[in-house]
Amino acid sequence: MTSINKLKPFICTNSIFKETRPELFTIAESENYFIASDGVRAGVIFKSEDTSLNDKFTNNFNSVQQCIKEIRNNSEYSITINRKELLDNLKASWKVFKQNYTNLNNNITIHKDETLVILEMDTDNHELSYSVVAKNKMINMGANAIFKNVNYSKEHEYFKIGFSLKFFEEHLEFFSGNQQIDIRYKLNKFSPIITEIGDRLAILLPYRLNN
């Protein structure tokens, strides 16, 4: 069985919620699974083959569970990607972006939680392009790449969506051991993505882009 320590990145660290949502600062256990959420994302590790998400909670995890079920049932599209290859590419792009940002901003260091990855999906050409940008200024500094030969479940219109770079990398890392993963989504830039493989599941809310 997967170690529940894999859920640690999903635990809330924002002290503003310490009194109002204390349950988000721990890994919760129900009859059928373990779950953690910081309000922007959630991770689940199932204890058995029962993945129905029908356990009862009396706190915010009840809302998180309902959100996961809604996304799970209504995400119409998906892409299949080489998880490790994309993760390695993102980390390489981050190094380029971070160095360029430091050089152009008087040696000011930027961190991953201040940075976005913007994904642009082109189903006609089976390509996923991505860029690393500063969250505060939405500026791009030479950290663009194209991920080719992406397998889309079906063609759709061009779609653009953005995520915290830190959170998106951790979403990919949660499924370590899997060469390929599916990312399911709706054509709505405010709708979370979902990935589910074997005994684990994760959702991630996008960042609100201006365009």
At 76 the pLDDT is 94
What is the pLDDT averaged over residues 188-203?
A: 94
Give the CA radius of gyration of the chain.
17
Give the three-state DSSP class for 84: helix
Question: What DSSP assignment string belongs to 94-157?
Answer: HHHHHHHHHHHTTT----GGGEEEEEEEETTTTEEEEEEEETTT--EEEEEEEEES-EESS--S
Q: Is the pLDDT of residue 137 over 90?
A: no
Are 31 and 130 contained in the same domain? Answer: no
Domain region containing 57:
4-74
96: its two tokens: 């380029």
b/e map 180-191, b = 16+ CB within 10 Å: ebbbbbbeeeeb
Are 68 and 113 contained in the same domain? Answer: no
Q: How many whole angstroms separate alpha carbon 11 and alpha carbon 30?
A: 16
Are 128 and 65 contained in the same domain? Answer: no
Nearest Cα to 181, choosing from 156, 200, 158? Answer: 200
At 1 the pLDDT is 53
Q: Tell me how far apart the 2 most distant CA atoms of the chain are, in Å.
A: 54
Count: domains in the chain:
2
Confidence of residue 142 (pLDDT cuts 50, 70, 90): low
Are 16 and 34 contained in the same domain? Answer: yes
Q: Tell me the per-residue pLDDT of 1-47, one tens digit each, with 9 for 90 and over.
A: 568 999 999 999 988 888 888 989 999 999 999 999 999 999 999 99
Q: Tell me the per-residue pLDDT of 88-124, one tens digit each, with 9 for 90 and over.
A: 999 999 999 999 888 888 888 999 999 999 999 999 9
b/e map 45-55, b = 16+ CB within 10 Å: bbbeeebebeb
Are 148 and 110 contained in the same domain? Answer: yes
66: its two tokens: 């309902």
